[in-house]
Structure 1
Amino acid sequence: MASEDVVGKTSATIANLAEEAKIASEGVKAPSRHALLSICKSLVAGGVAGGVSRTAVAPLERLKILLQVDHLSFCFHGQVQNPHAIKYNGTVQGLKYIWRTEGFRGLFKGNGTNCARIVPNSAVKFFSYEEASKGILWLYRQQPGNEDAELTPVLRLGAGACAGIIAMSATYPMDLVRGRITVQTDKSSTQYRGITHALRTVLREEGPRALYKGWLPSVIGVIPYVGLNFAVYESLKDWLIKSRPYGLAEDAELSVVTKLACGAAAGTVGFGALYKGLVPNSVKVVPSIAIAFVSYEVVKDLLGVEMRISD
């Protein structure tokens, strides 16, 4: 009997240890799987936001390109090469003319190529901002007296700048070859058949470094632009929630319209719109940024991602 009791207790102990080990193992793996899933959801939300915002302003993007082509033709040849250029005189008139001559599809011509570039850029940008803001806040809280500090507009500006650098670096080769495809003519020495073909050709004929020609000026230009977008949007949201000037309940979320207004305000302070010079581009920047921010948060809500930018 004694030996049986010993065997029984030993078996029970082994079983308990095995169960504890299993629980511990699952406890280690679960957060890793959860973190990976959260990252994927965040990237998907950022990509969808970029695609939705770019598609929403695709007609204005098409009109801007048509106007730019006409302007360049006039500068180089002394005359407008497009016989219909006069029809593009004015944003509304231009959009009406495209609709009348090319139909609905004409307004969105080239949007697929634009989305192929903007979707990964937007995905990386939003995710990078979240990670950069957490890292910057952690470093800031390591300073004496800042243990309970929250994100400030300056810290958000820094996080946005980091996000802009990372996103630009990650997708710059696509921007480079897209630019080459845009300016190539029938007389160009190299004829690119598309983004993939252009990437392979540049990599084979010019080497990996060629894919990052002009990277530094582009990054310098995007730092204040993206930084200000995030800083203004997040700071405005934070101020509205904390001050509650419109009688918001304690746990109430800002409405979509209010978030769109915050995004529109963020779009008005981007340096990029000041240097483009064309009305269609200036008009599209504000709604594009507003839609991108709101789409990102809406998709994250739908996907059930707990983490928020402001967190």
Structure 2
Amino acid sequence: MRFGLSSLGLESPKIVIYEALPSNYGLGHNMLAGAFAGIAEHSVMYPVDLLKTRMQVLHPSTGGLYTGLTNAVSTIYRIEGWRTLWKGVSSVIVGAGPAHAVYFGTYELVKDMAGGNVDDGHHPLAAALSGASATIASDALMNPFDVIKQRMQVHGSVHKGLVQCARTLYRTEGLQAFYVSYPTTLCMTVPFTATQFVAYESISKVMNPKNEYDPFTHCMAGGLAGAFAAAITTPLDVVKTLLQTRGLATNEEVRSAKGLINAATIIKSQFGWGGFLRGMRPRIISTMPSTAICWTSYEMAKAYFKNLE
């Protein structure tokens, strides 16, 4: 069935028969839809992501210590100005488009190869496999941009822009600085993505058994799946933040962190088990709408491409 742009969630989406893009559309359309979704997701929720990073840093410089999410917002606004909440967003915009193009392109490709598109049934294993494969591929591209982003987000950061930060980081710490957190990132994002994709597919099947194009379903399923996955992977996110911001740390032990196990040991010895839950609230608060926006944008783009038939 054909439908106009007004059908993309603005008037009567439930009358639209929605399904995956046909095979003749190729990888390019899925990648383009993914790029659109990634830029939309990260741009809208960037300020909350910055708050999460600030609250996860173990030994912040003077002025970067916050008692909670509300205190962090008010302190940053009062002392540094509202523009600080967007510091480093250029890195995300530049990296998110290509990374999410690879992410969703790999997802659709592996899902189809694993038999996830055979019928209208529930295929959790195919969803988990495609999600894990997608994050391995996309994180290889996104990790350097994520390192640059967090270096610019930290309180007191002297970095003014994407290129300047990348050059300084390469000159002072070498190429390994861009990938020191990659193993930890995969340990976090592979279970995160697998969990999120299985949850998204499962919730969508319950809320939308007819597999119609329904922005409300995509939004709710994406948000709930993201919140659940974010909560259970927060400890690894804290470890990742430590590794990606170690060069700015004032604590010598943190500056010399070598990898996942060493970083986790430092967190445990200095802050106890509670240290692994630092930034959980802003992580969930940012991830829930982020994944909702991401999935809604992605499904909308796919629906738009089908309209061009």
Q: TM-score, normalised by structure 1?
A: 0.63
Q: Give distance in 2, aligned partners of 1:216 and 1:66.
A: 22
Instruction: Quote the residue 1:226 is aligned against.
Output: 193
Which of residues 219, 230, 234 in structure 2 aligns to 1:260? 219
Note the alpha carbon deviations across 1:186-242, whole angstroms, 9 max, x for none.
9xxxx9875446667888999877754453333232211111111111222123332
1:273 partner letter: T
Instruction: Quote the residue 2:49 is aligned against.
Output: 61
Instruction: Quote the residue 1:129 is aligned against.
Output: 107
CA contact (8 A) 2:35 2:101 kept: yes
The answer to whether 1:44 aligns with 2:32 is yes
Aligned ranges 1:1-311 → 2 under 5 Å: 38-69=26-57, 71-73=58-60, 81-82=62-63, 85=65, 88-99=66-77, 104-137=82-115, 150=121, 152-176=123-147, 178=149, 195-196=162-163, 212-242=179-209, 252-254=212-214, 256-270=215-229, 271-273=232-234, 275=236, 276=238, 277-278=278-279, 279-304=281-306
Instruction: Quote the residue 2:247 is aligned against.
Output: none
- Check 1:194–1:35 CA distance in 2 against 1; reply closer, same or farther (3 A cut): farther
Q: Give distance in 2, aligned partners of 1:238 and 1:36.
A: 25
Q: TM-score, normalised by structure 2?
A: 0.63
CA contact (8 A) 1:41 1:305 kept: no
Q: Give distance in 2, aligned partners of 1:176 and 1:47.
A: 20
Q: Give distance in 2, aligned partners of 1:203 and 1:94.
A: 30
Shift of 1:130: 0.4
- Whichever of the two has the greater Rg, that structure is 1
- Check 1:258–1:114 CA distance in 2 against 1; reply closer, same or farther (3 A cut): same
CA contact (8 A) 2:135 2:190 kept: yes
Q: Give distance in 2, aligned partners of 1:59 and 1:183.
A: 12
1:282 partner letter: I
Q: Give distance in 1, aligned partners of 2:152 and 2:71.
A: 28
**Percent identity (aligned):** 25
Shift of 1:113: 2.1
CA contact (8 A) 1:137 1:150 kept: no
1:40 partner letter: G
1:298 partner letter: M
Shift of 1:135: 0.9
CA contact (8 A) 1:59 1:95 kept: no
CA contact (8 A) 1:38 1:305 kept: no
Match of 2:208, SS? helix
Q: Give distance in 2, aligned partners of 1:233 and 1:164.
A: 15
CA contact (8 A) 2:131 2:197 kept: yes
Q: Give distance in 1, aligned partners of 2:102 and 2:91.
A: 18
Q: Could you list the runs of 5+ residues in structure 1 that have no partner in the other structure?
A: 1-33, 74-79, 142-147, 243-249
Q: Give distance in 2, aligned partners of 1:285 and 1:97.
A: 22
Higher RCO (Cα < 8 Å, 6 or more apart): 2
CA contact (8 A) 1:264 1:287 kept: yes
CA contact (8 A) 1:129 1:162 kept: yes
Note the alpha carbon deviations across 1:141-183, whole angstroms, 9 max, x for none.
8xxxxxx795511221111111111111233343455566677
Please identify which structure carries the higher helix content. 1
CA contact (8 A) 2:139 2:186 kept: yes
Shift of 1:38: 4.7
Q: Give distance in 2, aligned partners of 1:284 and 1:192.
A: 24
What is the Cα-based RMSD across aligned positions, in Å? 4.0
1:297 partner letter: E
Match of 1:137, SS? coil
CA contact (8 A) 1:47 1:119 kept: yes
1:291 partner letter: I
- Check 1:36–1:193 CA distance in 2 against 1; reply closer, same or farther (3 A cut): farther
